[in-house]
Amino acid sequence: MTIQDIQNQNKDTFRTVAVRFKPNGKLQYFDPGELELKPDDWVVIEVGRNTEMARVVLPPRSITASQLAEPLKPILRIANEDDVNRQLSYRARNKESLVKCAERVKVFLIPMRLVECEWNYDGSKVTFFFTADTRVDFRQLVRDLASIFRTRIELRQIGVRDKAKLVGGVGKCGETLCCSTWASEFPPVSIKTAKDQDLPLNPSKITGVCGRLLCCLSYEHPMYEKMKENMPKVGDRVCGAQGSGAVVGRNILKQTVTVTFDNGAFSELPHRELTIEEKEQSTLVGGYDADTDTVFEVEDPEDLQFLKED
């Protein structure tokens, strides 16, 4: 069933419930049917060729057909005690399975670095996450692992950001990494974000443990954009009680600018005490004399007419 089919139905609203498959995973929405669910309930959901367990994050609510981004898949049932115990049992095998897989990787001399192992709650699948500099051929490894674990094997190559999310760590702020605790998605961050905040473009200062730009730069970016709206830029001419001068630096958080005045003074002042001078626009008009092959400038555009007549 497509979104168009759903919107063409007579139903005005649909029930949906938000779940997470991992503690810091992305919120995903499913159809709870007639099930009465509440936050922290465990449910069983069919995902692709497997069934997975997920935890309810938000209780069921009604949405309109126009709010649906894709057809809702149904929740099969509420997980029982046996499901939870099986999940705990298979999770206990993750570390041991990762070690066995690492041994087989060495045997086949595959240039890959294993990150994490994850068993499905019912043992129907085991997933190995790894990083690699290039695309690798692991077909022989998959067959070997399938003969060892007697279940479906999935090898998934991930990036450095996903690795940090799985492994965890401590950021420059001294707190546990956002991506491994509460952030479910990676925000887009560019070098322009750092420039907009007047940060030094030193990789050791603006990159995280993953080697990419700090995600938190995007959290603070809107605030910096708002705070610097009325501040003069570096290079602007300003005037104040001490006279006129040029802005050579600014501190967005303190709302101050550093000014070198024409009289030689050098001072850091609140930007509200200064007025930005309007830039003088040049009144020179250029022309070209084909006879003499020369370029000239005049201050009054009317002079061009006299030059032309001459």
216 plus 255 within the same structural domain: no
27 plus 45 within the same structural domain: yes
Reading across the β-sheet that carries 243-251, which strands appear in turn? 266-270, 256-261, 243-251, 237-240, 275-276
Asked if residue 249 belongs to a domain, the reply is: yes
Q: Strand 275-276 and strand 237-240: pairing?
A: antiparallel
The residue with greater pLDDT, 232 or 288, is: 232
Asked if residue 169 belongs to a domain, the reply is: yes
197 plus 259 within the same structural domain: no
Asked if residue 30 belongs to a domain, the reply is: yes
Asked if residue 12 belongs to a domain, the reply is: yes
169 plus 120 within the same structural domain: no
Overall number of domains in the chain: 4
Asked if residue 287 belongs to a domain, the reply is: no
CA dist 30 to 39, 71, 76, 155, Å? 14, 9, 10, 26
Torsion, CA 179, CA 183, CA 187, CA 189, rounded to 10? -40
The type of residue at 32 is: P
Q: Is 135 helix (H, G, I), strand (E, B) or coil?
A: coil
End-of-domain residue from the set 135, 158, 181? 158
241 plus 223 within the same structural domain: no
115 plus 154 within the same structural domain: yes
**Angle formed at CA 239 by CA 233 and CA 242, multiple of 5 degrees:** 125
Domain with residue 149: its CATH number is 3.30.300
Asked if residue 295 belongs to a domain, the reply is: no
User: How confident is residue 213, by pLDDT bands cut at 50, 70 and 90?
Assistant: very high
What confidence tens digit (pLDDT) does each residue in 43-65 have?
Answer: 999 888 788 999 999 888 888 87
Q: What share of the chain is helix, strand, coil (3-state, %, to 5)?
A: 30, 30, 40
> From CA 126, how far away is CA 301, in angstroms rounded?
79
What confidence tens digit (pLDDT) does each residue in 72-113 have?
Answer: 899 999 999 999 999 999 999 999 999 999 999 999 999 999
Q: Strand 152-157 and strand 125-131: pairing?
A: parallel
End-of-domain residue from the set 158, 185, 208? 158
Predicted local confidence at residue 118, as pLDDT:
94
Residue pair 232/277 in contact (Cβ under 8 Å)? The answer is: no
End-of-domain residue from the set 79, 109, 131? 79
User: How confident is residue 3, by pLDDT bands cut at 50, 70 and 90?
Assistant: very low
Query: Domain range holding 71?
Result: 3-79
> From CA 180, how far away is CA 195, in angstroms rounded?
26
Average pLDDT over residues 163-176: 91
209 plus 241 within the same structural domain: no
What confidence tens digit (pLDDT) does each residue in 246-294 have?
Answer: 999 999 999 999 999 988 888 999 999 888 888 765 554 555 555 555 5
Asked if residue 284 belongs to a domain, the reply is: no
147 plus 179 within the same structural domain: no
Q: Is pTM beyond 0.85 here?
A: no
11 plus 75 within the same structural domain: yes
What confidence tens digit (pLDDT) does each residue in 112-168 have?
Answer: 999 999 999 999 999 999 999 998 999 999 999 999 999 999 999 999 999 999 999
146 plus 101 within the same structural domain: yes
- Residue 64 carries which DSSP code? E
> From CA 235, how far away is CA 279, in angstroms rounded?
11
105 plus 126 within the same structural domain: yes
180 plus 124 within the same structural domain: no
Average pLDDT over residues 220-242: 90
Residue 6 has pLDDT above 50, yes or no: no
Asked if residue 17 belongs to a domain, the reply is: yes
Provide the percentage of residues in the chain whose pLDDT is more than 70: 86
Residue pair 13/67 in contact (Cβ under 8 Å)? The answer is: no
